[in-house]
Amino acid sequence: MASSLSILGLPPQFPSYTDTPTTTALLPLRYLLSLIPKCSSLRELKQIQGYTIKTNLQNDLTVITKIINSCTARPTPASLDHAHHLFDQIPLPDILLFNTIARGFVHSDDPFRAILMFSQVFCSGILPDGYTFSSLFKACAKVKALQEGKQLHCLAMKIGVSENTYVCPTLINMYTVCNEVDTARRVFDKIDEPCVVAYNAIITSYARNSRPNEALALFRELQGSGLKPNDVTMLLVLSCCTLVGSLDLGKWIHEYVKKHGFIRNVKVNTALIDMYAKCGSLDDAVSVFRQMRRGDTQAWSAMIVAYATHGHGSRAVSMLEEMKKEKVQPDEITFVAVLSACSHNGLVEEGYHCFHSMTNEYGIVPHIKHYGCMVDLLGRAGRLDEAYKFIDELPIKPTPILWRTLLSACSSHGNVEMGKQVTERIFELDDSHGGDYVVLSNLCARYGKWEDVNFLRKKMVDKGAVKIPGCSSIEVNNIVHEFFSGDGVHSTSNALHHALDELVKELKLAGYVPDTSLVFHADMDDEEKEIILRYHSEKLAITFGLLNTPPGTTIRVMKNLRVCGDCHNAAKFISFIFGRQIILRDVQRFHHFKDGECSCGDYW
């Protein structure tokens, strides 16, 4: 034992304890306690515990508490088992010790054990406190144990700690993770004087569940309450601006950030870059980046993503080189951004070079997103056979998303036969996604293969697969307006629809021809197809912008799907006729229309 303890730095002549420790033994006890937090392994902890047994200190609550604290500080399955075992040896354990072990379980790979252990502790008569429920709700959130979380919520209410400062944010988070947003809001509304942490929790709830407008309303309420937002609040609010594409609100938040000193925070600056880029203002994103004293990997990656989504592929690639010169280490996200930029600009050779340098220079193992970018790169360039072979030879099992990327390329390049092969591979993995049926059905319809179209549509109905409707939004006077494709087909009285009808007439005089080949219904004539095309969500949103913004101002539109080819063509004509810049963000990238041209060069 002496030789083992010497490893821990104990003096060679360490005094022994008798059954009745003397005052001269107190100094070594304090020394022993000071060593426990310094242990780097469970083995060393057990050596000290062995010494306590030898010196009759094995039941000393101070020693046991120290050992349990050390076991849970860097939890492993073995150390948590040992802490649990020690806890069970204590005749009258208190709730503080359980809370320590519960926190350890929460940060382990099996957080549900905290809930199981609590059942045992509660049945023994130990009364939980606010810290107990805080840990338990975190455990429920990690494993999405909604029913257990609700039971614990009821217990917290009975005990009277459900509105505790430490409990409420974790309770709100638990309901958020389990997609019970309205329940989370009810918890928040019951707090008499919510703190910033509680506000952050409920704002997070709305942001994660795509309800940004409610999150932004809560931010305004937070300001009015007299509380001071923190860095987390600003990150959440900026993410909400990004979700709704609200550039005006984003600029106001930027001013707030500068006024209240958040501008020194690198993460907040990165969120600003992301917000400006996704709200369509690349110049503002560049300005924020250039004003940073020194950006980290995330900031550089955000700027590369900005260039990529706005169609500046070469600039994104050169930024990677600039990043290397500044000795900022790129990561997985950086290379996803660069590969995406290469994909949207047809930079095949540059893309291959980046893909290989990721592994050869930086030792980064490609993930599914990197493979997806490569498939997209090859597919957009028309190298479909090469893309198919690339997927087939991957060192991992391909996902439906990889095959869907290739299916989209087959559609763009009109390759029906390969489209069918790829769809079969998708259906082997997942046959419930409505978009797959629609893409192949439209591809077949384009070439008059109506038997295949009817078969696919019937199969789609049988599987219960649903097509996501196209939706476009535009912000005017700080209000976001949404439009859905087909909104005007059966309406003749709405001023917007009348204005769109007149707009299409004017576009035709300038040379615009509706591409009715994009409407795949065999039983419709060209006039009926043209009406369907006319009321696509993008055209409705752009028309609304023309009607409700001053001449010469930029129109910014967001769409939830890929921009329609006919709407893309119409937007070019509108930008030329009306002298307007139109920035259209779809699910893949930004399109900047100006003077009858698009930044994508019709390659998207």
Domain-located, residue 23: no
Q: In sequence order, which residues have a C-beta less than 8 Å from that of residue 181 and are 6 or more positions away?
A: 175, 205, 206, 209, 211
* 415 plus 519 within the same structural domain: no
Domain-located, residue 331: no
> Span 574-597, mean pLDDT?
92
pLDDT band with cut points at 50, 70 and 90 for residue 489? low
* 478 plus 528 within the same structural domain: yes
State which amino acid sits at residue 456: L
The domain total for the chain is 2
Alpha-carbon span 171 to 448, nearest angstrom: 56
Q: Which long-range contacts (CB under 8 A, 24 or more apart) does 213-219 make?
A: 213/240, 213/244, 213/480, 215/240, 216/240, 216/241, 216/244, 216/249
State which amino acid sits at residue 67: I
Domain-located, residue 102: no
Domain-located, residue 449: yes
Asked whether the beta carbons of 372 and 405 are under 8 A apart, the reply is yes
Domain-located, residue 525: yes
The pLDDT score that the predictor gives to residue 462 is 84
By percentage, how much of the chain surpasses pLDDT 70? 94
> Span 404-424, mean pLDDT?
94
**CATH code where residue 452 lies:** 1.25.40
* 503 plus 398 within the same structural domain: no
β 582-585/555-559 pair status:
parallel
> What is the model's pTM?
0.76
By percentage, how much of the chain surpasses pLDDT 90? 57
Asked whether the beta carbons of 313 and 341 are under 8 A apart, the reply is yes
* 505 plus 559 within the same structural domain: yes
The pLDDT score that the predictor gives to residue 364 is 94
Torsion-angle region of 280 (φ positive above 0: left; ψ -120 to 50: alpha; else: beta): left
β 582-585/590-594 pair status:
antiparallel
Domain-located, residue 533: yes
* 524 plus 418 within the same structural domain: no
At 283-334, the pLDDT tens digits run 999 999 999 877 899 999 999 999 988 989 899 999 999 998 999 999 999 9
Tokens linked to 339: 């590969």
Q: In sequence order, which residues have a C-beta less than 8 Å from that of residue 391 and are 6 or more positions away?
A: 371, 375, 398, 402, 403, 406
Cα–chain center distance at 546: 33
* 405 plus 503 within the same structural domain: no
* 488 plus 569 within the same structural domain: yes
* 425 plus 492 within the same structural domain: no
State which amino acid sits at residue 183: T
The residue out of 467, 494, 524 marking a domain boundary is 467
* 459 plus 561 within the same structural domain: no
Alpha-carbon span 458 to 320, nearest angstrom: 48
How is 373-412 classified by DSSP, letter by letter?
HHHHHHHHTT-HHHHHHHHHT-SSPPPHHHHHHHHHHHHH
Alpha-carbon span 280 to 586, nearest angstrom: 11
pLDDT band with cut points at 50, 70 and 90 for residue 210? confident
Write out the residue range of the structural domain in which residue 422 sits: 372-467
The pLDDT score that the predictor gives to residue 270 is 95
The residue out of 434, 467, 500 marking a domain boundary is 467
At 10-64, the pLDDT tens digits run 444 344 433 444 443 443 677 777 888 888 888 888 888 888 788 777 778 888 8
Tokens linked to 321: 């080189």
> Span 326-353, mean pLDDT?
93
* 484 plus 518 within the same structural domain: yes
The pLDDT score that the predictor gives to residue 21 is 44
pLDDT band with cut points at 50, 70 and 90 for residue 522? low
> Span 265-269, mean pLDDT?
94
* 414 plus 437 within the same structural domain: yes
Domain-located, residue 539: yes
The residue out of 435, 467, 499 marking a domain boundary is 467
Please report which residue ranges of 279-399 form alpha helices under DSSP H: 282-291, 297-309, 313-325, 332-345, 348-360, 368-380, 384-392
Asked whether the beta carbons of 480 and 210 are under 8 A apart, the reply is no
The secondary structure of residue 587, as a DSSP letter, is: S
At 233-261, the pLDDT tens digits run 999 999 998 888 788 889 999 999 999 99
The pLDDT score that the predictor gives to residue 448 is 83
Please state, in angstroms and as integers, the Cα–Cα distance from residue 408 to each residue in 309, 384, 440, 443, following that order. Answer: 18, 11, 9, 10
pLDDT band with cut points at 50, 70 and 90 for residue 7? very low
The pLDDT score that the predictor gives to residue 343 is 92
Q: In sequence order, which residues have a C-beta less than 8 Å from that of residue 324 and are 6 or more positions away?
A: 330
* 447 plus 538 within the same structural domain: no
Higher-confidence position of 526 and 104: 104
Alpha-carbon span 214 to 243, nearest angstrom: 12
List the helix and strand counts (H, then E) for the chain.
31, 6
Alpha-carbon span 19 to 92, nearest angstrom: 22
Least confident among 4-8, 248-252, 342-346: 4-8
Collapsed DSSP state (helix, strand, coil) of residue 84:
helix
Alpha-carbon span 376 to 320, nearest angstrom: 20
Asked whether the beta carbons of 369 and 361 are under 8 A apart, the reply is no
Asked whether the beta carbons of 9 and 35 are under 8 A apart, the reply is yes
At 360-395, the pLDDT tens digits run 999 999 999 999 999 999 999 999 999 999 999 999
Does residue 548 surpass a pLDDT of 60?
yes
Least confident among 301-305, 418-422, 450-454: 450-454
Domain-located, residue 461: yes
Q: Tell me the average pLDDT of the chain.
A: 88
